[in-house]
């Protein structure tokens, strides 16, 4: 068992990473089953692929369970499904001391965490992420949210989990497109401040995508270790340190909005294109060597990820994409900070970017 600690004082928790952990979840999560029962929130795809393994382990440990199964997909992060989940949790008489289990990818983790944050003014929850994206990113750090018509993740709260249990073998049942989408978030950690890890990705990414267990476990451990350090330094994005984790997301969320937050463009695919665009824009602004921007795009493309607007299936004008960005929750005083780069492993927060320049750049690369 590999363990990473997220140090947040009274809100500290551990992330446990182990192949086969799902089959031992009853034993491993027993301390969090306050009344020897779990309410589990999952989606239809995970219910088919992983829920039987999980509930069998709970049965073996004598832990009761009730499952709330939601539709799969980004559209699940909605008011209607939040109401559905909270109503059912109240029917199950969940208490504030209980921990709700989020079994699934980022959509399930975000929605379940938000439900836990608002139910009875705050219940506990445990993350059991089953996708690469959720294992290396969204299950750690306490960001919870649902989407609205105005944009992605605009309604939510910070609510840290009580524990995160990661079993890399759950990735074996994922479609390769989902694994690639999660891999974009792995690459992100190298681009933020760890050029050596980006080089590791260039050398080992193909093995990870092909199913190499050691490569996957190493990438998960290194990614969550990096995120745990950043979250411990800046839990609520007050100092700007945690904002670095949003590399690619300002561009990416605009692409998601343009494609209707649908399966046309998965979140990780949007982040991949967003990172490539952030590096290309940085190079265009004279901030970053053009060779570094080209290297980033080449690696993402080699991994089967979109690195251009065309590859992301987006043909909207720069003005239209910037209009989506205006709803970004990071807007402050009418200005939108951007994560840009001085090179690979040298991401920084730029607060003086003219959106007209962004729109013109997007039109040039369209």
Cα 366 to Cα 360: distance, rounded to the nearest angstrom: 10
The question of whether 242 is a catalytic residue gets the answer yes
The question of whether 227 is a catalytic residue gets the answer yes
Contacts 24+ apart (CB under 8 A), 43-46: 43/69, 43/70, 43/71, 43/72, 43/73, 43/76, 43/104, 43/105, 43/107, 43/108, 44/69, 44/70, 44/71, 44/72, 45/72, 46/72, 46/103, 46/104, 46/105, 46/108, 46/130
The question of whether 48 is a catalytic residue gets the answer no
Cβ proximity of 161 and 336 under 8 Å: no
Q: Considering 77, 180, 221, 249, which one is annotated as catalytic? A: 249
The question of whether 324 is a catalytic residue gets the answer no
259 Cβ contact partners less than 8 Å away, ≥ 6 residues apart: 265, 270, 312, 313, 314
Q: Considering 178, 217, 235, 237, which one is annotated as catalytic? A: 237
Cα 167 to Cα 127: distance, rounded to the nearest angstrom: 11
The question of whether 152 is a catalytic residue gets the answer no
The question of whether 120 is a catalytic residue gets the answer no
Q: Considering 185, 217, 235, 269, which one is annotated as catalytic? A: 185
The question of whether 143 is a catalytic residue gets the answer yes
Q: Considering 188, 242, 299, 324, which one is annotated as catalytic? A: 242
Cβ proximity of 11 and 42 under 8 Å: no
Q: Considering 246, 256, 269, 324, which one is annotated as catalytic? A: 246
The question of whether 185 is a catalytic residue gets the answer yes
The question of whether 237 is a catalytic residue gets the answer yes
Q: Tokens 């451990």 — which residue?
A: 221
The question of whether 246 is a catalytic residue gets the answer yes
Helix (H, G, I), strand (E, B) or coil at 64: strand
Cα 326 to Cα 330: distance, rounded to the nearest angstrom: 9
Cα 152 to Cα 174: distance, rounded to the nearest angstrom: 24
- Cα torsion at 334, 335, 336, 341 (round to 10°)? 180
Cα 223 to Cα 164: distance, rounded to the nearest angstrom: 14
Q: What is the CA radius of gyration of the chain?
A: 20
Q: Considering 77, 143, 216, 324, which one is annotated as catalytic? A: 143
Q: Considering 77, 152, 216, 227, which one is annotated as catalytic? A: 227
- Catalytic residues, by residue number, are 121, 143, 185, 227, 237, 242, 246, 249, 253, 267
């Amino acid at each position: 068992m590999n363990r990473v600690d997220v140090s947040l004082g009274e809100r500290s928790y551990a992330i446990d990473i182990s192949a086969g952990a799902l089959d031992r979840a009853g034993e491993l999560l027993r301390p969090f089953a306050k009344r020897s029962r779990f309410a589990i929130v999952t989606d239809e795809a995970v219910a088919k692929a992983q829920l039987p393994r999980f509930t069998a382990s709970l049965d073996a440990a004598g832990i009761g369970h009730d499952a709330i199964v939601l539709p799969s997909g980004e559209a699940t992060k909605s008011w209607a499904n939040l109401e559905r989940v909270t109503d059912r949790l109240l029917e199950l008489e969940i208490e504030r001391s209980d921990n709700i289990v989020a079994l699934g990818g980022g959509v399930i983790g975000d929605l379940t965490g938000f439900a836990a944050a608002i139910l009875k003014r705050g219940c506990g929850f445990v993350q059991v992420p089953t996708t690469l994206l959720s294992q290396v990113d969204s299950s750690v750090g306490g960001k919870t949210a649902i989407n609205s018509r105005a944009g992605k993740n605009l309604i939510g709260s910070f609510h840290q989990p009580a524990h995160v249990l990661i079993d890399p073998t759950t990735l074996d049942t994922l479609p390769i497109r989902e694994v690639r989408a999660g891999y974009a978030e792995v690459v992100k950690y190298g681009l933020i401040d760890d050029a050596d890890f980006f080089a590791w990705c260039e050398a080992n990414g193909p093995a990870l995508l092909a199913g190499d267990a050691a490569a996957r476990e190493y990438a998960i451990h290194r990614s969550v270790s990096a995120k745990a350090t950043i979250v411990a330094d800046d839990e609520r994005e007050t100092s700007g340190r945690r904002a670095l984790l949003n590399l690619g997301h300002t561009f990416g969320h605009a692409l998601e909005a343009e494609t209707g937050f649908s399966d046309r463009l998965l979140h990780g695919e949007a982040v991949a294109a967003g990172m490539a665009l952030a590096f290309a824009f940085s190079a265009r602004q004279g901030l970053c060597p053009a060779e570094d921007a080209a290297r980033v795009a080449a690696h993402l493309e080699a991994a089967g990820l979109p690195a251009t607007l065309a590859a992301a299936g987006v043909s909207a004008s720069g003005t239209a994409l910037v209009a989506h960005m205006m709803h970004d929750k990071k807007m402050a005083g009418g200005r939108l900070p951007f994560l840009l780069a001085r090179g690979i492993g040298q991401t920084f927060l730029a607060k003086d970017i003219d959106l007209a320049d962004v729109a013109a750049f997007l039109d040039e690369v369209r």
